[in-house]
Amino acid sequence: MLILQLPDGSSKQYEQPVTAEKVAMDISPRLAQAAMAAVVDGKKVDLTTPLPDGEHTFKLLTDRDADSLEILRHTTAHVMAQAVRRVFGKDVQYTIGPALTDDFQYGFYYDFDMPTPAKQEDLEKIEQEMQKIVAEKLPLARLELPVEAAKQKFGQLGQAYKVELIDDLVKDANVSSVSLYEQGDFVDLCRGPHLPNTGKVKAFKLMSVAGAYWRGSEQNKMLTRIYGVAYFDKKAMDEHIQRVEQAKLRDHRLLGKQLGLFLISDAVGPGLPLWLPRGTVIRHQLEGWIRSELTARGYQLVITPHIGRLAMYRTSGHYPYYKDSQFPPILMQDKESACCAEHANEPVLEEGYLLKPMNCPHHIQIYKANQHSYRDLPVRLAEFGTVYRMEQSGELNGLTRVRGFTQDDAHLFCTPDQLEDEVRGCCDLVKLVLGTLGLTDYRVRVGMRDPASDKYVGDPANWERAEQNLRNVVSHLGMNYSEEKGEAAFYGPKIDFVVRDCLGREWQLGTVQVDYNLPERFGLEYMGSDNQPHRPVMVHRAPFGSMERFIGILIEHFGGAFPLWLSPVQAAVLPVSDKFNEYAIKVQQAGKDAGLRVELDDAPDKIGAKIRRWTMQKVPYLFVVGQREQDEQTVSVRQRGAAEVGTFKLDAAIAAMNEEAASRGAKAAFAAT
């Protein structure tokens, strides 16, 4: 006997055996046609799976339910794997192929081990085969097999990866049987659920082919990953593709070029951005703003060199622990101290220097230069410090992943008692930065060490303490966060503020890190009230993270349309003909005198062309001036995103703009008339 509670509150009784499909048919044939899967007691199941006895909540998933999309995509991944096997033959091994539901670009992928990796141009062939499989309307049959039988089956099929996956299921979950899904000539190890048959797969597109290491480890073989997307109808898929295309227009690499913000020149080197005049304005605005916040919060500004002795980075641990991601050291040849002529040309390592990968050792030297009393603490040393890291070539990405970048760095030296307050203060600053700029869509990641890894310095007891400190702070900040193992810095755990770029890729911006280890390695001290030396704790923090990455994200966030205070050009003066150039110069000068960044467009173009030019540059305000404006000492104001907002006295327009700029985006200068 089976009793099903339906979502509308009604219930239905059945004699066994019954499947969800039968229930759907019973309710209405149209529903049965639209049904993709069912949810029994909150768990998604196939339409064809026999329902268990007893009383259950029951819901059918149709193509309109968001949950169905995941099932559709998962089934589409199976269809793709089947097609790949048909096209490329039985030598292809299929490994894992999940659905993606929160990825901006892709809807699923499948990783294959194939004798020769698939190429971009193969995707079309695979798609055509997939269409055939869809037309065949192959039913997906679920089978439960005992572990040994399943291993034997995949062994016979030459699917060694599946055998390995089953072994892991036994090892990790101690399962005695596994589920398989079979569709025509294809069978896969899979938890399910799936669509009832391949004919339910409607709109899909294969998007790209990439390499991916088996189990995500570079020790393992590189597999061929094919990404695709699937929807229940073509319209939804076209909208998806449209959405991705639109997002690409916000890409900071594109806008950086169009708006003349920065340049990455191969002549200078990959990952070494050059800030163009307009981009530099944005950076200076942000730096100036945060500098005033820092001085108000008791920070002291310092400046340190771009290189430091290798020996110092051995002490800090940077050199031994992160040797691979640094530019090679600058080694000095010291012929005098060479033991003999034979070794005279060998560099003497101890005399070498390192391009700094981090600012902390320099700041530590500043702390060490004086004695400190507990009364002095916390000492907060801040610097826009430029650091260099040898990032892997395949990782470089516009401004968001570079090899030379400037951190809005600071190191706070405090007593253990002060630590959590200091960390809280740093988190507040990060939130101020993100909030002011409207970057509200971020997540907080608490990065802990991975005890199994040997890439961390210091005493486990220090780590325990530091991790507990961070937990204490975040749990009282009212922020959602996730704790992630293996995401710590090598010297301590950290709180990271992570945002997404236009293509949905995550980037860490602000960071706050607790460090008991470097103070120990450098022997830092302060004198306590007990007249005994004590060891301070350090906080490393950067609210922007790096200026490069932050501005890269900011460009995408605003789509290049920066708020007035950040806009490289705040207004352009556009005379309707060169008869009014003289008045236009006066307008420009008045703006400049008031501290605004104003450009003059005296090109021999018609006014429409001028408007178009500066509109495309996303300049917030355009001042059109002609006979009337000259006569009345006014400007006709055109606002970005709107058309004309009216004619204003020159002085009033300038004053209103200054007010808007000072508000950092909180106020608008002109109400549309």
Q: Of residues 333-372, which lie at the interface with RNA (CB under 7 A)?
A: 357-358
State which amino acid sits at residue 536.
P
Closest approach of RNA to the CB of residue 652, in Å: 16
Closest approach of RNA to the CB of residue 9, in Å: 43
Asked if residue 225 binds RNA (CB under 7 A), the reply is yes
Question: Strand 494-500 vs strand 506-515: parallel, antiparallel, or unpaired?
Answer: antiparallel
Nearer to RNA, 196 or 361 (CB): 361
Q: Mark 557-576 with x for binding to RNA (rule: CB under 7 A) and - for no binding.
A: -------------------x
Query: Is 343 designated active site?
Result: no
Closest approach of RNA to the CB of residue 121, in Å: 7
214: tokens are: 């088996």
Q: Of residues 389, 403, 431, 618, which has the active-site annotation?
A: 389
Biggest distance spanned by C-alpha atoms of the chain? 96
Among residues 213, 259, 352, the alpha carbon closest in space to that of 619 is found at 259
Nearer to RNA, 422 or 629 (CB): 629
Q: Of residues 465, 494, 549, 557, which has the active-site annotation?
A: 494
Query: Is 610 designated active site?
Result: no
Closest approach of RNA to the CB of residue 233, in Å: 25
Closest approach of RNA to the CB of residue 28, in Å: 42
Nearer to RNA, 339 or 643 (CB): 643
Q: Which of 136, 391, 520, 599 binds RNA (CB under 7 A)?
A: 391
Residues from 79 through 118 that contact RNA (CB under 7 A): 105, 116-117
What distance in Å separates the CA atoms of residue 128 and residue 123, rounded to the nearest whole number?
9
What distance in Å separates the CA atoms of residue 419 and residue 538, rounded to the nearest whole number?
8
Closest approach of RNA to the CB of residue 494, in Å: 7
Query: Is 407 designated active site?
Result: yes
Among residues 425, 377, 441, the alpha carbon closest in space to that of 543 is found at 425
Three-state secondary structure of 288-305: HHHHHHHHHCCCEECCCC
Asked if residue 500 binds RNA (CB under 7 A), the reply is no
321: tokens are: 């622990």
Asked if residue 395 binds RNA (CB under 7 A), the reply is yes
Closest approach of RNA to the CB of residue 374, in Å: 28
Q: Which of 139, 184, 192, 626 binds RNA (CB under 7 A)?
A: 626
Piece of 68-76, 159-167, 280-288, 628-636 that binds RNA (CB under 7 A)? 628-636
Contact 661, 565 (CB under 8 A): yes
E strand segments, 184-320: 186-189, 203-213, 222-231, 262-263, 274-275, 300-301, 307-309
Asked if residue 56 binds RNA (CB under 7 A), the reply is no
Asked if residue 257 binds RNA (CB under 7 A), the reply is yes
Asked if residue 519 binds RNA (CB under 7 A), the reply is no
Query: Is 411 designated active site?
Result: yes
What distance in Å separates the CA atoms of residue 361 and residue 541, rounded to the nearest whole number?
14
Contact 145, 180 (CB under 8 A): yes
Q: Which of 563, 629, 650, 670 binds RNA (CB under 7 A)?
A: 629
Question: Strand 598-600 vs strand 571-575: parallel, antiparallel, or unpaired?
Answer: parallel
Residues with Cβ within 8 Å of residue 364, at least 6 apart in sequence? 316, 411, 518, 519, 522, 524, 538
Nearer to RNA, 147 or 645 (CB): 645
Query: Is 418 designated active site?
Result: no
Residues from 262 through 291 that contact RNA (CB under 7 A): 264, 266, 270-271
Query: Is 191 designated active site?
Result: no
Nearer to RNA, 492 or 591 (CB): 492
Nearer to RNA, 117 or 199 (CB): 117
Closest approach of RNA to the CB of residue 117, in Å: 4
Q: Of residues 86, 540, 597, 610, which has the active-site annotation?
A: 540
Which residues partner with 379 through β-bridges? 413
Per-position b or e across 280-292, b if 16+ CB within 10 A of its CB: ebbbebbeeebee
Nearer to RNA, 215 or 534 (CB): 215
Residues from 586 through 615 that contact RNA (CB under 7 A): 603-609, 611-612, 615
Give the C-alpha distances (Å, rounded to integers) separating 62 from 39, 301, 509. Answer: 11, 60, 40
Closest approach of RNA to the CB of residue 340, in Å: 35
Q: Which of 11, 152, 365, 392 binds RNA (CB under 7 A)?
A: 392
Q: Of residues 251, 409, 496, 601, which has the active-site annotation?
A: 409
What distance in Å separates the CA atoms of residue 532 and residue 541, rounded to the nearest whole number?
28
Asked if residue 211 binds RNA (CB under 7 A), the reply is yes
Q: In what order do the strands lie in the sheet with 108-113?
A: 93-94, 108-113, 222-231, 203-213
Nearer to RNA, 121 or 336 (CB): 121
Q: Of residues 105, 326, 407, 513, which has the active-site annotation?
A: 407
Residues from 464 through 493 that contact RNA (CB under 7 A): 486-490
Nearer to RNA, 39 or 99 (CB): 99
Q: Of residues 78, 252, 253, 411, which has the active-site annotation?
A: 411
Nearer to RNA, 136 or 391 (CB): 391
Residues with Cβ within 8 Å of residue 145, at least 6 apart in sequence? 153, 177, 178, 179, 180
Q: What are phi and psi of 347, to 5 degrees?
A: -65, 145
What distance in Å separates the CA atoms of residue 445 and residue 465, rounded to the nearest whole number?
18
Closest approach of RNA to the CB of residue 329, in Å: 12
Residues from 236 through 255 that contact RNA (CB under 7 A): 251, 253
589: tokens are: 């000068």
Neighbours of 589 (CB within 10 A): 13
Neighbours of 502 (CB within 10 A): 22
Nearer to RNA, 181 or 583 (CB): 583
Q: Which of 6, 143, 222, 477 binds RNA (CB under 7 A)?
A: 222
Q: In what order do the strands lie in the sheet with 571-575?
A: 598-600, 571-575, 621-625, 634-639, 644-649
What distance in Å separates the CA atoms of residue 660 and residue 650, rounded to the nearest whole number?
16
Q: Which of 505, 521, 586, 664 binds RNA (CB under 7 A)?
A: 505
Distance between start and end Cα atoms, the chain: 71
Query: Is 540 designated active site?
Result: yes
Catalytic residue numbers, as ranges: 360, 389, 407, 409, 411, 494, 540
